[in-house]
Amino acid sequence: MGECLSLESYGYRGELVALLKKANVSVYDRIEVKTSDGFVFQGILMPKPELSAPYIIVLKLDNGYNIGVAIDSSTEIHLIEKGKLSQPTPPKASLKIREDLPIVSILGTGGTIASRVDYKTGAVYPAFTVEDLYSLVPELSEISRLRMELLFNIFSEDMTPAYWKVIAEKVAKHIEEGVDGVVIAHGTDTMGYTAAALSFALRNLPVPVVLVGAQRSSDRPSSDAALNLIGAVSVAAKAPFAEVVVVMHGETSDSFCLAHRGTKVRKCHTSRRDAFRSINAKPLAKIIGDTIKMLTNDYLPRDKKRELKVMSDFDEKVALVKTFPGMTPDLIDTLIDKGYHGIVIEGTGLGHAPRSILSSIKRAIDEGIAVVMTSQCIWGRINMNVYRRGVELLKMGVIPGEDMLPETALVKLMWVLAQTRDLKEVRRLMLTNIAGELNPRTIHSHYPPVEV
């Protein structure tokens, strides 16, 4: 940060920039503004938020409040004092970490799992160092010796299969270096997809790989980040399983976290802390503080001697298509014409699609495109033998996705198609349970009850 950036980079545009420049003013300078009605404001020029109206400059007053002041050509702007912005140096943690604690690597992919606020400027600084992380969440120092690496810094919605590959390979590198578990800090929007991708890419895991995020940003005192991070690091350090999991709040209270299997987890709420749910499956474990309580015996046990195999290629020519009343065949035809290799259909009910797209589905399969059926019901298993439409689709060669989440089916198809384009082999792999994505039994308690 240090040096002053241009006014434009702080959100100021057009004439405002000219007016501010004329007054020799840049962001974080202390200025006095006399508006045309004779009112005088004094404060520090602040960055301008994206949605602030044109011709408004933002001032921080001495009482800490920000206000917007309208500027026109008759406004007088005077520089009072040049400001300077220096990135705060985090307090040095004088912590002694026990040498016998497990080692956990935390890999950053974007967003901030821990951060501090500069109340002078309102800027939020993410924790980039282990020391800073310990100082913000001191409980971590009792659980493990941490290592940290920032892989990249992107919005979760901008995640791609190419990034999955980078993550998978970095995780493998850390595991090969002998860590006891890996935590991946990830934006929550596409965390479920990445969890599924890593579940397929990391074969024969010796230690747990944990994705973690926050539904409330870490700068606020009420953030869920700290509890989630404590849960995630605990799982990575000492869970008895060696699987890819998502660890997030288990309920709205700051009481416990749940570890969800990477292929069975879905973000089911836009904003709640407990947005992540295991679908058609039970969570693997409940984490209270740093104590792990297993909820199932069905898992791959931790074994540091097991040799990890990385299969991190994904075929990006795969689409996920949701059917809907009135759907026209051109959506499918376009994918065929654009040379797609696979299509996952999120059909209705037990796995159905409207008559209007049947011929296009048939055409796709005839042209060697793998078509997999899942259900937009989210919960439950598809069964294409019950109604005629299902039977018709099966006859065409549509692959039934069983109880797989549509998102997991998409990721799996990308992963399978990177290995083979042979439809017979694709079908065999799609119907083989590889990473817990297919569950032969659907049970009552998998579907959450409604409070009435």
Partner 1 sequence: MKLDYRALGLKVGLEMHQQLSTKHKLFCNCPLVLRQAAPQITFSRRLRPTPSELGEVDPAALFEFKRGRVYVYESYDDNVCLVEHDEEPPHEMNPEAIEIALEVALMLNARPIDEIHVMRKVVIDGSNTTGFQRTAIIALGGYVDDIEGRIPIQTICLEEDAARKIRESEKEVVYRLDRLGFPLIEIATAPVIYSPEQTERVAYKIGQILRLTGRVRRGLGTIRQDLNISIRGGAKIEIKGVQRLDLLAKIVKYEVMRQVNLLKIKDELISRGVKEDDIVSEFYDVSHIFRHTKSKVIRRALSKGGVVLALKLPKYAGLLGFEIQPSRRFGTELSDYARFWGGVGGIFHTDELPAYGISGEEVRKLKSELSCNESDCIVLVADKEERSRDALEAVIKRAIMALYGVPEETRGYNPDGTTHYSRPRPGAARMYPETDIRPIRITIEWIKEISEKLPEPLDVKLKKFVERYHLSKELAQQMIHSYRLDLFEKLVEKFSKVSPTIIAVTLEQTLKSLAREGIPIDNISDEHLEELFDLLNKGIIAKEAIPIILEHVANNPRKSIMNLMKELNLRALSINELEEMIDNLLKTNESLIKRLGERAWQPLMGMIMKQVRGRIDGRIVAETLKRKLSKLLKET
Residues numbered 375-404 forming contacts with partner 1, rule: CB under 8 A? none
- The residue range among 116-124, 163-171, 182-190, 302-310 that interacts with partner 1, by the rule CB under 8 A, is 116-124
* Distance from C-alpha of 29 to C-alpha of 153, rounded to nearest angstrom: 29
Strands 76-81 and 123-126: unpaired
251 is an interface residue for partner 1 by CB under 8 A: yes
Q: Does 228 bind partner 1 (CB under 8 A)?
A: no
| Segment interacting with partner 1 (CB under 8 A) among 115-123, 236-244, 286-294, 422-430 | 115-123
Q: Tell me the two tokens of residue 114.
A: 């821990």
Is 170 among the catalytic positions?
A: no
User: Which CB, 217 or 383, lies closer to partner 1?
Assistant: 217
Residue 29 known to be catalytic: no
Binding partner 1 (rule: CB under 8 A), the pick from 63, 74, 94, 297 is 63
Stretch that binds partner 1, among 60-68, 185-193, 232-240, 334-342 (CB under 8 A): 60-68
- From residue 432, alpha-carbon distances to 11, 367, 383, 413 in Å are 52, 24, 17, 12
Residue 7 CB, nearest approach to partner 1 (Å)? 17
The answer to whether 350 and 390 have CB atoms below 8 angstroms apart is yes
**Which one of 222, 307, 326, 440 is in contact with partner 1 (CB under 8 A)?**
222
Determine the size of the site formed for partner 1 (CB under 8 A): 47
What is the C-alpha to C-alpha distance for residues 315 and 317, in angstroms, rounded to an integer? 6
121 is catalytic: no
Amino acid at 239: A
* 427 belongs to the binding site for partner 1 (CB under 8 A): no
Smallest gap from Cβ 53 to partner 1, in A, equals: 4
- Per CB under 8 A, 254 contacts partner 1: yes
| Alpha helix positions (H), 181-276 | 191-201, 225-238
The helix or strand, by DSSP H or E, that contains position 81, with its residue range, turns out to be: strand 76-81
* Least Cβ distance, residue 191 to partner 1 (angstroms): 18
Among 310, 312, 339, CA closest to 411: 312
Between CA 410 and CA 214 the distance in angstroms is 25
Give the active site residue among 48, 60, 112, 403.
112
Q: State which of residues 20, 136, 182, 235 lies at the interface with partner 1 (CB under 8 A).
A: 136
Q: How far apart are CA 151 and CA 154, in angstroms?
A: 10
- Which residue, chain included where needed, has tokens 């301008």? 48
In this complex, which beta carbon is closest to partner 1, that of residue 272 or of residue 363? 272
CA dihedral for 427, 431, 437, 442, sign (positive or negative): positive
Could you give the string, one character per residue 36-55, with x where binding to partner 1 holds by CB under 8 A and - elsewhere? Answer: -x-x-x-------x-xxx--
Residue positions annotated with a catalytic role: 112, 188-189, 267
